[in-house]
Amino acid sequence: MSASYPRIITTPRPELPLQVPEGLSPVEFFNSPANLKNLAEENGLFRTPEDLLMYRKLIGHSVEFDTSVILDTSRKILDPLGRPVRRDQVPRAAARVWEKMTAILFDYMLDTWPDPQAHVILCGEASLDATWPLNKPGVPSIRMIHNHFMVFPTERLRAAPAADPNDVNLTDSGHNTLFLRHMADVYMDFFAGLDLQILKLVEGEEVALSVTGYPQGLPSWLLEDGRARLHDRYFWYEYEQILLRFLDFYRTFFNLVSTGEERVPQDANFPRAVAEVLLGSPRFVRVARDLRERVIQDPQFANDIRWRPAYKQLLYRDDEGRLVVTISQNSVGNAITELLGIVVRRAPDPEAYAKVEPALIEHLLAARQRLIDAGLGEPIATMHWPAAATPRA
C-alpha cells in the first residue's frame, strides 16, 4: 500500500461554450442571470418547484461522477449579493427537499460504487460568501448555496503524484487553518458540547482516507447506523446543529476581531456555550485580539479576511465504509475535495473528455431517474439529453 499524502490529479474538461463579454471579469459574468439561465439550458438535469437545480458540472472535479444541486435563485433575486449562500438562509420547504435529494444522490453513489477500498465517495456543501466584491480573485463563480457530489477511483488517486502540503489549496488541513492552528482545544471543546445522538464525535485521524491521510485535524463525526440514517430527518437535524455551532464560533471570533468587544452575537444559536466556552477562554480572546492588531497594521492581510461565516460541510465514506461528517472554514480558492487531500487541476482537453462523457452522462441520468421516481420535480431536456432520457440497462 502506498504512503498517505495529499494527491494532485488532472481532470479533462471541454472548452467552455460561453464567451465572457468584453469588459466583464469571468466572476462577474458567471454570477449574471444570463449565465445561470444558460447553465440550466445547457447542463440542467432536474429542477424542483423550490428551484433546486441538479446540473452537470461541465468544469468538474471528477469524470467518474460529478454533479451539483444548487438553489437557483437567479431569476428571483437579481442582486448576486442578495442570494442565499448558507443552509440557514434557505426556506424550510427547500431545505427539506434538499435533504431528500442529497440522501437519494448519495444512495446512488453508494449503490453504484459499493467498495470503499475502490472508490472515494463524497458530497460537500459550500457557503459561497456573498460579502466579497464580485471581482475579488478566488471568489466562487456562482454565489448560491450548492451541494457537490463526486466519486474518485482510489487506484487513480494512488497513482497520482504528491501535492505540495503547503499548497494554498490545502489550507483547510490541520496544519494551516486559523481555528485549528491557534486554538484547537477551545474549537474542539465547543463542538464537543453538542448534544448529538446519532453523530459521534471522533478524531479526524480515525476516519482519514489512507490514500491521502486527510482530513487532518478537522472535527469529524461518525454516522451511527450508516446509510440507514441518510433518510432520517433527525440525522439532518444533527447535521444542521454542527453547522449552527460552527456559525456561532465564526461569528463570535470575527466579531471580536472586528470590534474588540467581548460579547455574544445577537444571532447566536448557543448563547450560553458562546459565553462560557468561547468568551470564557483566554486563548480564544487573545488570538482574536492578536489578529485584530494584524488587520489594523497590514492592509493586504485585512483585504483577505472573510468577515462573514464561510464554511464547507462534507459527508464522505471512509476506508471502512463508514459515513463521516466534517466541517471546515472556507478558505480562499480551495475546493471541497481538498478537505480530503485531493487537489484537482481542471485542464481543457475536449478529446479526452469526449471519451469519458458518455459513461458520465449515463450515471447522471441514472441518478436523475431516482429523483424523478421520488416525485421531487421535473427532468430538464438539453441538447445533450432529452427530459425523458432513460439510462441503458
Whether the Cβ atoms of residue 225 and residue 199 lie closer than 8 Å to each other: no
Can you read off the three cell numbers belonging to residue 320? Answer: 471502512
pTM of the model: 0.92
CB 33 within 8 A of CB 74: yes
CA angle 226, 329, 315 (to 5 degrees): 15
291: three-class secondary structure by DSSP: helix
Amino acid 175: pLDDT: 42
Number of domains into which the chain is organized: 1
Domain membership of residue 196 (yes or no) is no
In a domain, 270, yes or no: no
**pLDDT at residue 128, as a whole number:** 62
Residue 47 lies in a domain: yes
Strand, helix or coil at 120?
strand
C-alpha cell of residue 143? 454565489
Stated as kind and residue range, the H or E segment containing 242 is helix 233-259
Q: Is residue 255 part of a domain?
A: no
Residue 203: Cβ within 10 Å count: 12
Closest CA to 147 of 116, 186, 104, 178: 104
The Cα 96–Cα 167 span in angstroms is 37
Residue 286 lies in a domain: no
Bridge partners, 344 (sequence order): 9
CB-based contacts of 78: which residues, under 8 Å, 6+ apart? 33
Chain mean position to CA 126: 4
Would you state the pLDDT for residue 82?
79
Q: Is residue 240 part of a domain?
A: no
Q: What whole-number distance in Å separates Cα of residue 14 and Cα of residue 240?
A: 36
Does the CA dihedral 127-242-188-247 come out positive or negative?
positive
Long-range CB contacts (< 8 A, 24+ apart) of 49-52?
49/377, 50/91, 50/93, 50/94, 50/97, 51/75, 51/76, 51/94, 52/94, 52/97, 52/98, 52/101, 52/377
Per-residue confidence of the chain (393 residues) as pLDDT tens digits?
A: 468 999 999 999 998 777 778 887 776 777 677 777 878 888 999 999 999 999 999 888 999 999 999 998 888 888 777 788 888 888 899 999 999 999 999 999 999 999 999 999 999 988 765 555 555 655 555 667 889 999 999 999 999 999 988 777 775 534 456 788 889 899 999 999 999 999 999 987 899 999 999 998 889 999 988 898 999 999 999 999 999 999 999 999 999 999 999 999 999 999 999 999 999 999 999 999 999 999 999 988 887 777 888 888 999 999 999 999 999 887 655 678 988 999 999 999 999 999 999 999 999 999 999 999 999 999 999 998 988 755 443
**Residue whose grid cell is 454516522:** 223
Q: How far apart are alpha carbons 271 and 262 in whole angstroms?
A: 13
pLDDT at residue 129, rounded to an integer? 59
Residue 243 lies in a domain: no
Residue 105 domain boundaries: 7-173+201-225+311-379
Residue 291 covered by a domain: no
pLDDT at site 222: 97
Residue where the block lists cell 450560553: 272
Q: What is the pLDDT of residue 74?
A: 80
Among 180, 198, 181, 178, smallest CA distance to 190 is for 180
How far CA 339 is from CA of 10, 53, 58, 174, 217, in Å, comes to: 17, 25, 22, 10, 10
